[in-house]
Amino acid sequence: MPRRLKAPLGPSRLSQILQALKREPRPQLDTVKSLKLTLAFRNDHFGARHFVKEDLRRIRYANPNMDIHVNKVLKTPGEAWSPEMQVELQNGTVRTVNMDKKWSSAIFQELMDIAGGAPWQRWKKQRTAAGLPIVDAPKPKAPKPAQSSSIEDIFFNPNRSKTGAAAVLP
């Protein structure tokens, strides 16, 4: 009997990625020449790292010709420096955004206030008139279901997947 292929349920992974990249407000930054970000590689600067992961992708998608440089630096616990973003505008001026202890949505909003232009001002007016937050925070991912690890489940559940040496043994 031939195998039946499982049909994907719901939207594909690619369509979900495109939907996230095209999410409103569109970060069209026509007046920005380049962005230079400096932040910790790990263990600090959580809002800045989340901004790079979530919002910088959208900015790159909407502005393919913009120069974007991300400098992730190893930071020891004894060092004390703040993450920052330098925004170089088309007219040559450079604005520095301090990203220390800020949420990624606040960093995005500050960048858009600097260089969003008229579309961003219209977006802010519409959102405040509707009584909504200016920038929606991304929805957190659903947690994975907890694994049951009682003794009965470990030894007497035939559907439990095997790991370690038990996966190799018959």
Domain limits at 71? 28-129
What percent of the chain is predicted at pLDDT more than 70? 76
Tokens coding 43: 């263990």
Residue 11 pLDDT: 81
Number of domains in the chain: 1
Strand partners, 37: 70, 85
Binning pLDDT at 50, 70 and 90, where does residue 46 land? confident
Binning pLDDT at 50, 70 and 90, where does residue 59 land?
A: very high
- Indicate whether 73 belongs to any domain: yes
| 69 falls within a domain | yes
Report if residue 139 sits inside a domain.
no
Q: In what order do the strands lie in the sheet with 94-98?
A: 67-73, 32-40, 84-89, 94-98
Which amino acid type is present at position 11?
P
Q: Residue 84 CB: number of other CB atoms within 10 A?
A: 16
Count the alpha carbons within 13 Å of 95 in the hemisphere toward its beta carbon: 15
In a domain, 125, yes or no: yes
pLDDT for position 165: 57
Q: Mind giving me the DSSP string for 18-84?
A: HHHHTPSSP---TTEEEEEEEEESSSS-HHHHHIIIIIHHHHHHH-TTSEEEEEEE---TT-----E
Mean pLDDT for 35-51 is 89
For residue 91, how far is the Cα from the chain centroid?
29
Q: Cα separation of 62 and 73, whole Å?
A: 27
pLDDT of 140 above 70? no
- Average model confidence (pLDDT) across the chain: 83
Give the CATH number of the domain where residue 103 resides. Answer: 3.40.30.10
105, part of any domain: yes
pLDDT at 143: 60
Over residues 61-119, the pLDDT tens digits come to: 999 999 999 999 988 888 888 999 999 999 999 999 999 989 999 999 999 999 988 99
Q: Alpha carbon 36 to chain centroid distance? A: 17
pLDDT at 66: 93
* pLDDT score recorded for residue 112: 93
